[in-house]
Homo-oligomer: A and B are copies of this chain.
Amino acid sequence: MATVDVVTVRRSVVYFAVTLLFVTVSCVSVTRDPPYETRYFHQYLDHFNFASRGAGTFKERVLVSDAFWRSGGPIFFYTGNEGPITRLWNEIGFMKDLAEQFEALIVFAEHRYYGESLPFGENTISQENMGLLTVEQALADYAVLITNLTVSYCQDPDVCPVIAFGGSYGGVLSTFLRLKYPNLVAGALASSANVYMSAGLTPGNQLFQDVTEDFRRYNPRCPDRVREGFAEMERLAGQGEQGLHEISTRMKLCSSLQDHADLVNMYRWVREAFTVLAMEDLPYAISNGPFLPAYPVNASCNLLLKATDGIEEILQAVGMLYNFTSNLSCFDLHEDFVPCADPTGCSLMPGAKAWDYQTCTEISLLESTDNVTDMFPPDAFTEETRAAHCRERWGVTPRPGWLATQFWGKDLKASSNIIFSNGDLDPWRRGGVLQNVSSSIVALEIQGGAHIMDLRAPNATDPLSVIRVRQQEAHLIGQWISEATNQKEASGNG
């Protein structure tokens, strides 16, 4: 098991003095500033079971950059979420700026079951192999990795404070890492972390209401027109097969909707598009993940208002996301739409199936629509509909109360040093922590801000609010680092 293969090495190789895990430095990728190395850490398949299968290992991909690092400086650790870590590396620009400021080592750890970190190789995403995909296992991967990193990079393993960073589900993970492993991370910046929603502690009728509100805020006629579009589809669907065929043609679907279930899936696929437009409502275009223009809510609303009829309106908005390059002649719904237990959709996700499994087990995202407080067709996503999908798809039954029991529900006061940042345009924000919990667990609002906006690289078009929030974050992180360093010096460790 103890192998250190050096395939390609950029600058001097730091050998990891590992006791439990064994590092394979197997390839080096160099992207834009700063460059990083790709490393692979051996992790136990099951941190909570020493017997039989649990004692096997797999390789976790980790991106490491010491471009800014000063020996003894802090370690900035991104708790990878649902997707390839390389994509997240490109999305999280602010952390690199901060690393330069604080002379920090940058580490991006990939979440098990995503990207290249597949515990069972090509057979990972299958019903019989999904059981070891849990929040606890992922956090344990990070905890073991951090323990080994501090041993490797710091003469005294207690000397380098580690700060956790994460956005969206990654922000949930960085929060939980701070709650459960304050011995390892001195603080966490959790951007757009829907910790309360994930634990099933929010009402379940807010997210799509807030998507609607984003469009209404730009132009109140927009949500009205979207409602009209859906109403027209409903009217046609009431005519049976011919009506479904007409909807399909006008929505440019490659094959015709066959029945009500198909129609519901299409509605959800449309709703997913509006949700992404709302959460990614940035003042600049993005091309990592979805391709979107600047201010996509405004842009799609403008298109929508120019359309000739209700269905054309919806098509315009959907096309902005799903056919950004205008290359598609039709939409292949059977190919593009991924049914999943996340009602905001999994269609655009490289890790859609693994995420579906997570939302079928620990992560609760029970958001519904009613066409009254939101602009979408009524679609109740209840614990029962969730469980039915999950049993059929994965053979598992959710345990609704578990995440709140395990990760403290809404009772976070015993922790400290967490920043919860949220943009007020982000429909996910009401799933998170919007008020200070204590003097060191603080909520920061980015006015005019979208999903994980603060973690993105600074942009010339950034509103003043996000610039100020980033300054506050830098200030607080600086405090955490000073405190941790002083404590260690006081205790004779540093």
User: Per-position contact with B for A12-37: 1 when CB-CB < 8 Å, else 0?
Assistant: 00000001100000000000000000
Which of these binds chain B: A136-144, A221-229, A419-427? Answer: A136-144
Which of these binds chain B: A127-135, A283-291, A341-349? Answer: A127-135
B50 touching A48 by the CB < 8 A rule? Answer: no
Instruction: Collect the chain B residues with CB atoms within 8 Å of residue A398's CB.
Output: 50
A147–B143 CA distance with the chains assembled, in angstroms: 26
A360–B398 CA distance with the chains assembled, in angstroms: 32
Which of these binds chain B: A77-85, A176-184, A210-218? Answer: A176-184
Kindly state whether residue A49 has any CB partner on chain B within 8 Å: yes
Kindly state whether residue A408 has any CB partner on chain B within 8 Å: yes
A440–B146 CA distance with the chains assembled, in angstroms: 28
B50 touching A140 by the CB < 8 A rule? Answer: no
Instruction: Collect the chain B residues with CB atoms within 8 Å of residue A406's CB.
Output: 47, 140, 143
A253–B361 CA distance with the chains assembled, in angstroms: 56
B361 touching A183 by the CB < 8 A rule? Answer: no
Q: Report A431-465 residues with CB < 8 Å from chain B CB.
A: none
Closest residue of chain B to A143 (Cβ to Cβ) is: B405
Given contacts A20-B399, A44-B399, A399-B44, contact A180 B180 (CB under 8 A): yes
Closest Cβ of chain B to A150, distance in Å, is 11
Which of these binds chain B: A105-113, A294-302, A409-417? Answer: A409-417
Given contacts A44-B399, A144-B405, A405-B144, contact A50 B131 (CB under 8 A): yes
Residue in contact with A48 in the complex, picked from B137, B184, B394, B413, CB distance below 8 Å: B137
Instruction: Collect the chain B residues with CB atoms within 8 Å of residue A181's CB.
Output: 405, 408
A48 touching B48 by the CB < 8 A rule? Answer: yes
B143 touching A50 by the CB < 8 A rule? Answer: no
Given contacts A401-B19, A402-B20, A405-B147, contact A50 B396 (CB under 8 A): yes
B51 touching A136 by the CB < 8 A rule? Answer: no
Given contacts A180-B180, A184-B405, A408-B183, contact A51 B20 (CB under 8 A): no
Given contacts A183-B411, A402-B20, A405-B147, contact A397 B50 (CB under 8 A): yes
Instruction: Collect the chain B residues with CB atoms within 8 Å of residue A408's CB.
Output: 181-183
A360–B183 CA distance with the chains assembled, in angstroms: 24
Closest Cβ of chain B to A477, distance in Å, is 17
Kindly state whether residue A487 has any CB partner on chain B within 8 Å: yes
A51–B132 CA distance with the chains assembled, in angstroms: 8
A128 touching B405 by the CB < 8 A rule? Answer: no
User: Per-position contact with B for A362-376: 1 when CB-CB < 8 Å, else 0?
Assistant: 100000000000000
Instruction: Collect the chain B residues with CB atoms within 8 Å of residue A409's CB.
Output: 183
Kindly state whether residue A220 has any CB partner on chain B within 8 Å: no
Instruction: Collect the chain B residues with CB atoms within 8 Å of residue A329's CB.
Output: none
B401 touching A136 by the CB < 8 A rule? Answer: no
Residue in contact with A54 in the complex, picked from B131, B140, B182, CB distance below 8 Å: B131
Instruction: Collect the chain B residues with CB atoms within 8 Å of residue A48's CB.
Output: 48, 134, 136-137
Instruction: Collect the chain B residues with CB atoms within 8 Å of residue A2's CB.
Output: none
Instruction: Collect the chain B residues with CB atoms within 8 Å of residue A412's CB.
Output: 183
Kindly state whether residue A55 has any CB partner on chain B within 8 Å: yes
| Chain A positions near chain B (C-beta within 8 angstroms) | 19-20, 44, 46-52, 54-55, 127-128, 130-132, 134, 136-137, 140, 143-144, 147, 158, 180-184, 360-362, 394-402, 405-406, 408-409, 411-416, 487
